[in-house]
Chains A and B, each alone.
Chain A
Amino acid sequence: MSEAIKSWRSGPGSSWGNLLHYSHRVVPLTHRFAALPDSSPLLAYGNGRSYGDVCLNQDGVLLATRGLDRFIAFDSVSGVIECEAGVLLNDLIELTLPYGWFPPVTPGTGFVTLGGAIANDVHGKNHHRVGSFCNHVLEFELQRSDGTVLRCTPEENREWFCATAGGLGLTGLIRRVRLQLRPVPGPWLGGDSRRFRSLGEFFELDRVSGGNYEYTVAWLDCATGKSHLGRGVYMRGNHVPGREPVKSRLPVRLPLTPPFSLINGLTRNFLNQAYFHRPAAEQSAARWHYQSFFYPLDGILELNRMFGPKGFFQYQCVIPEAVAERSLTEIFERIAGSGERSFLAVLKMFGRIPPLGMMSFPRPGATLALDFPNHGARTLALLEALDAITVAAGGAVYPAKDARMSQDSFQQYFPNWRQFKAYVDPAFSSSLWRRVTQ
């Protein structure tokens, strides 16, 4: 049932950044009762939406988990859902939203598996209010290569729970998940969006918004020029009732990877300025359907192809609040001086709720996400320079989005990694893990 395959530009063996094309042996999992294959190194591969090599395992085995996509139980009174780990967030929402239940935390795409959400302890626009994904996981089942199956909850097998939450898929296979959903009045969100002209204004807006709005996020203008630096659009919202009919969104697809990147100085400047100046950037009573609010980029399938055959790097860091303004300014200036440009920039303040995961990324401070078209050594040199700023600030870089951080940087960002190592399944590994620990 499995064969050695090269990694394609989509499907098992590829990741969202389109940077790395490794060969793997893919073993599709079709049900949750099988033993693990007797080979190594193993790694679970969900829907391939992490950007770099956290979901890759060069010359190793990928356990493709999308076949584990069955619901097991759903209690529409308590909002507790139990399902196999390959279920996509989108499929879960389709089932539970009609009953008034929504994922407690969602990242910027609905195309992630629940297993992936646990392994990367993903966060969303409501981190300042509810923490990250694993803060809401009631239980999961972890299958180890020695044949044991551990039922993990924040109480039972707690150390395994904490190692696996944000554990990058290295502690074994997550087969089954029980999750506490949150009640919502429907598919709608209400709030507003406003322009800000500087980072100072952003922090001020965030200070007054965090208490009143469950979801807050800012988009930063990436157009070239000093006047653009640090300006952007701040969006905030809450779930609101509403009976408006929902216009169904047929997704558009980028069917082919264009031979060159569609992202260049012209398109970047034009799109960023247009986004900043469009009337909807400043509106007092905005209303969004959850899809356009949480998943604005999911409307175009395989949008990652627009970066062309060389792919792109994403850089997401978190900077402690005390030095956030200074370090972020330094990051922007460093990018401006490098000749490299981010196409899209998103800024968000994390809250103080501690994650359960030993290796979780979220921590108090400002988190900034940037997309850079891959220009080889130039781009890598810039990202290395950004790492120097993040390290000096005492911050961290998000492994789910990384394809290049150095061993030294990783080990400074995640000082628990040595302790975590004891929980890594001897038959499991990943390209990222080998890169940052060997």
Chain B
Amino acid sequence: MRRILIMGATSAIAEATAREFARRGDALFLVGRSAERLQAIAADLKLRGATAAECHVLDARGMDRFPALVDSAAEVLGGLDTALIAHGTLSDQAACEASVETMMQEFATNALSAMALCTLLANRFAAQRHGTIAVISSVAGDRGRQSNYVYGSAKAALSAFTSGMRQRLHSQGVRMVTIKPGFVDTPMTVAFRKGVLWASPATAARYIVRAMIKGTPVLYVPWFWRPVMAIIRAVPEFIFQRLRL
């Protein structure tokens, strides 16, 4: 049985992933902003087989409270060996362009807070010499594009941060999994026409859980985003700057 902390537990991908863990009988510590939504999810996860599903209300921007959060998770679950960091906001690019403050807030929510939590978890897991940390980054972090480069650069920071941390933790028995979802059919993306490129949160969740168990370093969901993004990264900047992506 895994003892799992899930940050941003009310997001569609996090909830679907939690259901996969619940089916396996794992114990879950759910962190999110809304108490009633967390409680509804926790009740559901217990019925789906979770050994435990505890709720903790916290805004991801409250970074000073992260040490207490991690301690509390370990105490309530009787230990902690897995974490999924899934919180984030799909930034309003136009608002971020208009306001330095908004831009910095978005960056803090999507990058700094996840990096802060990773730091605490990494130290704890390194000390106990086992554990898995999975972080939801994004294909948007593979290259900055005019349509969402604030969100994208925060995710790029997360990807680089987790890559370095993965190296550091490798010899200490701790696995770091960077998850890069492409198109997932969530409330965030309702406006897009869904074609064969789209994955449901439930499908994404199955891949995520498998990667977390195996300790896959970088997971693209669905898989074909890996070659797609390789091509997009390979476009020379003098051409890329003229494109409308």
Q: Known interface pairs A31-B10, A31-B40. Does A71 touch B47 (Cβ–Cβ under 8 Å)?
A: yes
The 3 A-B pairs with the shortest beta carbon distances in the complex, nearest first, are A3-B191, A70-B44, A71-B47
23 residue pairs from A and B, CB less than 8 Å apart: A1-B187, A2-B190, A3-B190, A3-B191, A5-B190, A8-B193, A8-B194, A11-B194, A30-B12, A31-B10, A31-B34, A32-B40, A33-B37, A33-B40, A67-B12, A70-B43, A71-B43, A71-B44, A71-B47, A72-B40, A72-B44, A95-B48, A255-B196
Which residues of B, 1-31, contact A by the 8 Å Cβ criterion?
10, 12
A30 touches B36 (CB 8 A): no
Q: Which residues of A contact B (CB under 8 A)?
A: 1-3, 5, 8, 10-11, 26, 28, 30-33, 64, 67, 70-74, 84, 95, 255
Q: Which one of B41, B190, B194 has the highest number of Cβ atoms from chain A below 10 Å of its Cβ?
A: B190
Do residues B48 and A71 form an inter-chain contact, with CB atoms below 8 A?
yes
In the complex, chain B residues whose CB is within 8 Å of the CB of A1 = 187-188, 190
**A31 CA to B196 CA in the complex, in Å?**
27
B contact set with A: CB distance below 8 Å: 10, 12, 34, 36-37, 40-41, 43-44, 47-48, 187-188, 190-191, 193-194, 196
Q: State A268–B47 Cα separation when bound (angstroms).
A: 45
Give the interface SS of chain B, mostly helix, strand, loop or mixed.
helix
Contacts of B196 in A (CB 8 A): 255
Cα of A11 to Cα of B192 in the assembled complex, Å: 12
- The reply to whether A70 and B41 contact each other, CB–CB distance below 8 Å, is yes
Q: Is the CB of B47 within 8 A of A74?
A: yes
User: Out of B12, B34, B40, B194, which one reaches A70, CB within 8 Å?
Assistant: B40
Is the pair B190, A26 in contact by a Cβ cutoff of 8 Å?
yes
- A71 — which chain B residues lie within 8 A by C-beta? 43-44, 47-48
> Which of chain A's residues have a CB closer than 8 A to the CB of B40?
31-33, 70, 72, 84
B residues near A30, Cβ cutoff 8 Å: 10, 12, 187
A3-B191 Cα distance, complex, nearest whole Å: 5
Task: Tell me how far the C-beta of B192 lies from the nearest C-beta in chain A, rounded to whole angstroms.
Answer: 9
**Alpha-carbon distance A73/B187, docked complex (angstroms):** 25
- Which residue of A has the minimal Cβ distance to B36? A33
CA distance A32 to B190 in the complex (A): 18
11 further A-B contacts with Cβ under 8 Å, apart from A8-B193, A33-B40, A73-B43, are: A5-B190, A10-B194, A11-B194, A28-B190, A31-B40, A64-B190, A70-B40, A71-B44, A71-B47, A71-B48, A72-B44
